[in-house]
Amino acid sequence: MLLQYILECISGTLAADPPLTPPTDPRGPASIASDILNIILTADTPYNLHKQFKERMSTESWSEAIATALLHGLESAIKTGTQMAKASSHALAQAKDAAIGFAENNPVYATLIALGILAILMPWALEILGFGELGPIEGSFAAGWQSEYAGYIPKGSLFSYFQRLGMKWHWSV
């Protein structure tokens, strides 16, 4: 038997170990994300934050559902102004400074990113303003603006441009 293992090792035909299966956590993604969010918001130093993550999470235990739940939790905490521990406040400030620094150091890239975001959001923004597929939406900002023209919309006006976009470039998602 020992000779067989040595021969397999030399020849490279050693049977592979069975694949490791990630540990399963009986809790749901929302519960796991809540625990992670609690760690993020309460850790007092980056070292403690890292230590607590290492103790409770492994790279194999992450899932898209956990990441999504965590993202929504962080977004909610930031929007509501949840009190954050020093480590989290510091990380948020660093992320903000990095984003501002990137925009200042790379104005062309920042402009391209902003234009890309605007292109994605434009159909939604046009619809919110009332520039619909069939014309101005009753009671909307666009309808009020149109009433200022008293029935005559000048060719090439900003209103006509937005309305043309609203009729052609409608929200499809």
Residue whose structure tokens are 């998602």: 173
> Is beta strand 135-136 parallel, antiparallel or unpaired with respect to 131-132?
antiparallel
> The pTM is what?
0.37
Q: Which DSSP letter does residue 59 get? A: G
Is the pLDDT assigned to residue 18 strictly greater than 50?
no
Alpha helices of the chain — where are they, by DSSP H?
A: 2-11, 29-42, 46-56, 64-79, 86-105, 107-129, 141-148, 158-168
Long-range pairs for 69-72: beta carbons < 8 A, 24 or more residues apart: 69/29, 69/30, 69/32, 69/33, 69/34, 70/33, 70/36, 70/37, 72/33
pLDDT at 166: 86
Residue whose structure tokens are 């070292």: 47
Q: How many CB atoms lie within 10 A of CB 37?
A: 20
Q: Which of 47-51, 94-98, 165-169 has the lowest mean pLDDT?
A: 47-51
Residue whose structure tokens are 């006006």: 157
For residues 130 and 136, the answer to whether their CB atoms sit within 8 Å is yes
What's the alpha-carbon Rg for the chain, to the nearest Å?
27
Q: Each residue of 108-129: pLDDT tens digit?
A: 988 888 888 877 778 888 888 8
Is the pLDDT assigned to residue 81 strictly greater than 80?
no
